[in-house]
Structure 1
Amino acid sequence: MHKFNSGGVEIAYQMAGEGAPIVLIHGFASNARVNWWDTSWVRTLAEAGRHVITFDHRGHGASQKLYDSALYPAAEMAEDARRLLDHLGIAEADVMGYSMGARVAAFLTMAHPARVRRAVFAGLASRMITGVGGAEAIGQALEARSRDEVADPAALAFRIFAEQTKSDLKALAACIRSSREKITAEELAEIRVPVLVVAGEKDDVAGDVGTLVKAIPGAKGVTLPNRNHMNAVGDRGYKDAVLAFLA
């Protein structure tokens, strides 16, 4: 585990393998270990000859915890990824994000197209445009004294997951209230790098793949049969699609 200063915020990162670089950006309430290492993504990509870089978002994992929601815009979280590339002296890399990480990856691709060779947006499809909703309910669920006080089933699922990942609940509450920024179809239409969109067939958080693919010129899409938001991330079909895309 390494750390660096990203505009005054301490960000933790890890690396594995050698070859062309790829940055993996994890989802909300998760961390790099849970999202990418435990699902064998890092090993899969390293074995495919890639230099794999993962990091914990601000407020997540081993990175610095912040309690002001104004510090969690997705665009600023994308700058953490860009500053990590600067810190490592990497001019250009492939980028893959899952769920909230896909939104962050999209902001990175739009703001710094010269730094992104190819992008994979996974676990977030049409709802990158239309919005996911429920941020305040999730924030309140994370701030509740115990999960027994949470009545909203969707918010409760996030509370349970956050506890499983041993996350700082108050930091996550601040994050969720700011990080779910919508991206317009017009903004996405400006993307010129190759993009792959991947989501589970039963992923209500992500929405449908086709809508996002249509918004991004030349994008390709893969829908994973019988997969939802939680079990799509380690799916073999997802890995195979990404390896083929990167190749």
Structure 2
Amino acid sequence: MPSFHNGRVEIAYLDEGEGEPIVLVHGFASNKNVNWVYPSWVAELQRSGRRVIAFDNRGHGESSKLYDPEDYHLGTMAGDLRALMDHLALPRADVMGYSMGARITAFLARSHPERVRSAIFGGLGIGLVKGGGPGENVVSALQAASLDDVTDPVGRTFRAFAEQTRSDRAALAACLRGSRRLMSVEEAAGIAVPVLIAVGTTDDIAGSAHELQQIIPGSEVLDIPRRDHMRAVGDRVYKDGVLAFLSRRP
């Protein structure tokens, strides 16, 4: 698996296919394979004529593990995304993130709109600017001696997922504490690239997609019926909606 260094941090990535590039940014406690390869996103996008780039965020997958929350600010993680694009000589690309990956995508779209042809926020609605996302209950769950010791339902979900993905739980706890910053309403309203907000209709982590749509000018909503935060990722409605959105980009 190829990798590159952004400063002292090694970032593992994949780069497959030919055509217009799209960069995929996975969610918290996931990795490029679990979020994008296994649910067939990479294959689907390649079949649609796309060059597909996906990477492991710092603290995840095959990338460097760091244990200081200060190393996981969203601007820093968005910097990894931009550094990968620089490494691959991509001046501009469509970018799709899921959950935490959507937060990272939003920060890049806000700070460097010239690099983002369009942005897709999967599994993230109004939680971008208020509430939403895992909290200290998930940190406690990650640090518990075993899953049996975790009683909080959201904490159990993320602890079980972290175990399933064989993640470094200490790195994840640091990531969660460092990446919590919310975007202000004014910052979100300043996102000036085409945006698709794709959220499961039973997702109680992302927050309302329609509320966020009211803030980001010209944004579109894709409701993913009867899917929660974990099960929306590989949904057919999600995939078809994203492909349709991308096909409309000039």
CA contact (8 A) 1:131 1:180 kept: no
Aligned counterpart, 1:33? 33
Aligned counterpart, 1:213? 213
Aligned counterpart, 1:12? 12
TM-score (norm 1): 0.98
CA contact (8 A) 2:133 2:206 kept: no
Query: How do 1:128-207 residues align onto structure 2 when only pairs under 5 Å count?
Result: 128-132=128-132, 134-207=134-207
CA contact (8 A) 2:16 2:53 kept: yes
Query: How do 1:92-103 residues align onto structure 2 when only pairs under 5 Å count?
Result: 92-103=92-103
Q: Percent identity at matched positions?
A: 55
* Structure 1: distance between partners of 2:32 and 2:16: 12
Q: Offset of 1:180 from its aligned partner? A: 2.1
TM-score (norm 2): 0.97
Q: Which amino acid aligns with 1:53?
A: I
Aligned counterpart, 2:108? 108
* Structure 2: distance between partners of 1:36 and 1:93: 17
Give unpaired runs (5+ residues) of structure 1: none
Q: Offset of 1:7 from its aligned partner? A: 2.4
* Structure 2: distance between partners of 1:137 and 1:71: 21
Aligned counterpart, 1:239? 239
* Structure 1: distance between partners of 2:98 and 2:181: 15
CA contact (8 A) 2:67 2:174 kept: yes
* Structure 1: distance between partners of 2:124 and 2:180: 11
Q: Offset of 1:131 from its aligned partner? A: 2.2
* Structure 1: distance between partners of 2:195 and 2:230: 22
CA root-mean-square deviation: 0.9
SS of 2:234's equivalent in the other structure is coil
Between 68-77 and 25-34, the greater mean CA deviation after superposition: 68-77
Q: Which amino acid aligns with 2:198?
A: V
1:13-54 Cα deviation digits (max 9, x unpaired): 001110011000000000000000000000000010000000
Aligned counterpart, 1:68? 68
CA contact (8 A) 1:199 1:223 kept: yes
CA contact (8 A) 2:60 2:167 kept: yes
* Structure 2: distance between partners of 1:124 and 1:181: 14
Q: Offset of 1:134 from its aligned partner? A: 4.7
CA contact (8 A) 2:134 2:205 kept: no
* Structure 2: distance between partners of 1:34 and 1:91: 27
Runs of 4+ residues deviating >4 angstroms? none
Number of equivalenced pairs: 247
Query: How do 1:37-48 residues align onto structure 2 when only pairs under 5 Å count?
Result: 37-48=37-48
